[in-house]
Amino acid sequence: MITNIPKVAILVSHPTQFEAPLYKFITESGLVDLRVYFWTTANTSKLIDPELGHPPGWDFPLTEGYEWDLLPQKPRNLWKFIKQNIFQHGRFDAILISGWGHPVARLSLLCGILSRAPLVVVTDATRLYPCPLYKRLMRSGVFRIVFRLIPAFMVKGSLSKDYLRYYGVPEEKIFLFPYTVDNEMLAAKCNFYKQQKYTLRAKLGIVENTIVVLAVAKFVPREGVITLLEAYAQLQKNYRHTALVLVGDGPQKEMLQSFAQKNCSEKQVIFVGYQPYSYLPKYYALADVFVHPAIQEPWGVSVNEAMACGLPVIVSDRVGAAYDLVQDGENGFIFRGGDVRSLQTVLERFFSIPENERLKMGAKSQDIIRTWSYRTNLQGLLAVVNYLKNKQRIVRHRQ
């Protein structure tokens, strides 16, 4: 029987299709007494994706299997609730706050610092993207001061760790709490649909012996879908036994469809529209390779999903997941984000690989993603709790 189970709070905007199953997993482990606090909403049907203009389409329960509360929405009640219910001395062994960009996150950080609580900031920040000089100077000064006041950090990947170290955070204060997906669920659903692979392809008009390239993306500039279309347009005349399936929607949809109609064969580029989350394994099952062409993406959880489904992955070097999940030439390839010729070269290389080698690359993806799982999150959470407890013991001993 486990005694003295650590009590952990997580403050985050709203439940997502990735994190809700994680919270349930942590709770069911029996190793952590978890409570999640949402500061925006717990009802995802009320959320509007700002890039798409409609709800995100998460079609399974996201608030079941773990304890949660919604923070007060009125500012005058928020500070009192946070101070009395979350940062009350001794209430939690660790309090995780998602980022520092939202006003509620900043208010919580201020309250935590003032009350000397066991704060843990969770971040996916990277230094991949250009930043104006004045912002770099401001961050360098402010972050180096504020980060010293925060007891510990948890990062989504190696780029976030490098980000914190750049601003002076010592290695011992940084723990891994990665973006993860339900690997087992996705693999099981994908394996089911793989038995219908050629039927699913036929419904899309894809003939036998076709190499299918898949992208799951928002049709917005930062996702770089036009880069993929331009690269594929250069290739499809020489690689007629290929097809490109695009899952997604967004303000660039008409532009992308127009480009495809003018430059690609109608049978080789297939737009299937926006798909609810539970439908995605069907598309991973019918594909041979997954491409994430984004030019700005701190992580890219669709890469996790594709790998859990046993696909080789081709990922832009502007996507954070590339640096932790893609072993170039082993389970996929990395190309220069926004560079059509670079992506074209990588696709040509993939098309030339024999089928048995492509299958080996997909199996390698599954091997890699097994070590990037909900259990990884749980281990990181227990590690940061132990660190904070040891730190408190040291302080008490010195006093």
Mean pLDDT of 176-193: 96
- Tell me how far apart the 2 most distant CA atoms of the chain are, in Å: 75
Whether 165 and 260 share a structural domain? no
Residue-wise pLDDT for 18-65, tens only, equals 899 999 999 999 999 999 999 999 887 778 888 888 777 788 889 999
Whether 343 and 392 share a structural domain? no
Burial class (CB in 10 A: 0-12, 13-18, 19+), 163: buried
Order the strands of the 332-335 sheet from edge to edge: 269-273, 242-247, 211-216, 289-292, 313-316, 332-335
Predicted pLDDT of residue 60: 83
Whether 227 and 134 share a structural domain? no
Whether 138 and 191 share a structural domain? no
Residue-wise pLDDT for 118-136, tens only, equals 999 999 999 998 878 777 7
Q: What per-residue string of b and e applies to 129-162 under the rule 16 or more CB within 10 Å gives b?
A: eeeeeeeeeeeeeebeebbeebbbbbbbbebbbb
Residue-wise pLDDT for 339-388, tens only, equals 999 999 999 999 999 999 999 999 999 999 999 999 999 999 999 999 99
For residue 26, tell me if it sits in a domain: yes
- Domain count of the chain? 2
DSSP reduced 3-state for 392 = helix
Predicted pLDDT of residue 398: 58
Whether 289 and 276 share a structural domain? yes
Whether 330 and 304 share a structural domain? yes
Joined together, the tokens standing for residue 93 give 């062994």
Residue-wise pLDDT for 138-147, tens only, equals 778 888 999 9
Residue-wise pLDDT for 238-295, tens only, equals 998 999 999 999 999 999 999 999 999 878 999 999 999 999 999 999 999 999 999 9
Domain containing 53 — which CATH number? 3.40.50.2000
Predicted pLDDT of residue 138: 77
Cβ proximity of 30 and 23 under 8 Å: no
Predicted pLDDT of residue 1: 39
Residue-wise pLDDT for 85-101, tens only, equals 999 888 999 999 999 99
Whether 60 and 107 share a structural domain? yes
For residue 1, tell me if it sits in a domain: no
Q: Beta strands of 117-171 (E only): which ranges?
A: 119-123, 152-155
- Domain extent at residue 359: 183-369
Residue-wise pLDDT for 207-226, tens only, equals 989 999 999 999 999 999 99
Whether 260 and 159 share a structural domain? no
For residue 255, tell me if it sits in a domain: yes
Average pLDDT of the chain, as a whole number = 93
Joined together, the tokens standing for residue 307 give 């790998």
Predicted pLDDT of residue 394: 65
CA angle 130, 14, 215 (to 5 degrees): 55
Predicted pLDDT of residue 61: 87
Joined together, the tokens standing for residue 64 give 């079941």
CA angle 336, 337, 338 (to 5 degrees): 115
Write the CB contacts of 173 (distance below 8 Å, at least 6 apart in sequence).
150, 151, 152, 153, 387
Among 11, 62, 66, 74, which Cα is nearest to 39's?
11
3-state helix, strand, coil in the chain (%, to 5): 45, 15, 35
Whether 270 and 240 share a structural domain? yes
Please provide the size of the chain in residues: 399
For residues 121 and 105, give the distance between their C-alpha atoms in angstroms, rounded to a whole number.
Answer: 9
For residue 2, tell me if it sits in a domain: no
Whether 222 and 96 share a structural domain? no
For residue 361, tell me if it sits in a domain: yes
**Looking at the whole model, is its pTM more than 0.85?**
yes
Task: Write down the H helix ranges in 290-373.
Answer: 301-308, 322-325, 340-351, 355-369
Predicted pLDDT of residue 3: 57
Predicted pLDDT of residue 86: 95
Predicted pLDDT of residue 391: 83
Predicted pLDDT of residue 395: 60
The residue type found at 288 is: D
Whether 176 and 69 share a structural domain? yes
CA angle 381, 382, 383 (to 5 degrees): 90
Whether 300 and 345 share a structural domain? yes
For residue 74, tell me if it sits in a domain: yes
